[in-house]
């Protein structure tokens, strides 16, 4: 088990890193119940973690499809960040807060 840390850096290490980042990102959404802004950061982390996967697999397979996909994901991540922040700005304007707890007018 531990010898994965003694090997030269390879596909397994990239996969571990991206899994770690993905889990941090997912926890940032599920466990973080305070700040919407940090949720948006966690979302970015998720997308970028997957990007590491794609690039690492692409190198391992020796074809570029994964790297092309990773560029598209970067673009989508940028658009998503812009849209998320824009929605958050109008949310703040309306409720004067970015607390997750403020998102409770809709339920039933």
Q: Which residue ranges make up the site for other proteins (CB under 8 A)? A: 15, 18, 22, 25-26, 29, 36, 39-40, 43, 46-47, 49-50, 53-54, 57-58, 60-61, 63, 65-66, 68-69, 72-73, 76, 79-80, 83-84, 86-88, 90-91, 94-95, 103, 105-108
The total of other beta-carbon atoms located within 10 Å of residue 73's CB is 17
For the CB of residue 54, give the shortest distance to other proteins in the complex, in Å. 5
Instruction: Give 99's strand partners.
Output: 35
Q: Is 96 left (phi over 0), alpha (psi -120 to 50) or beta?
A: left
E strand or H helix at 73? helix 65-95
Report the nearest approach of other proteins to the CB of residue 31 (Å).
13
C-beta closer to other proteins: residue 8 or 62: 62
Task: Between 4 and 68, name the residue whose CB sits nearer to other proteins.
Answer: 68
**Which burial class, exposed, middle or buried, applies to 9 when counting CB atoms under 10 A from its CB (0-12, 13-18, 19+)?**
exposed
């Amino acid at each position: 088990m531990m010898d994965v840390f003694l090997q030269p850096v390879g596909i397994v290490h990239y996969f571990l890193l991206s899994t770690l980042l993905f889990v941090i990102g997912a926890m940032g959404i599920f466990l973080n119940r305070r700040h919407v802004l940090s949720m948006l950061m966690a979302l970015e982390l998720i997308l970028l973690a997957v990007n590491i996967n794609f690039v690492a697999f692409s190198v391992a397979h020796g074809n570029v499809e994964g790297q092309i996909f990773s560029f598209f994901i970067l673009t989508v991540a940028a658009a998503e960040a812009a849209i998320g922040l824009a929605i958050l700005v109008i949310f703040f304007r309306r409720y004067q807060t970015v607390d997750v707890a403020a998102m409770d007018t809709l339920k039933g």
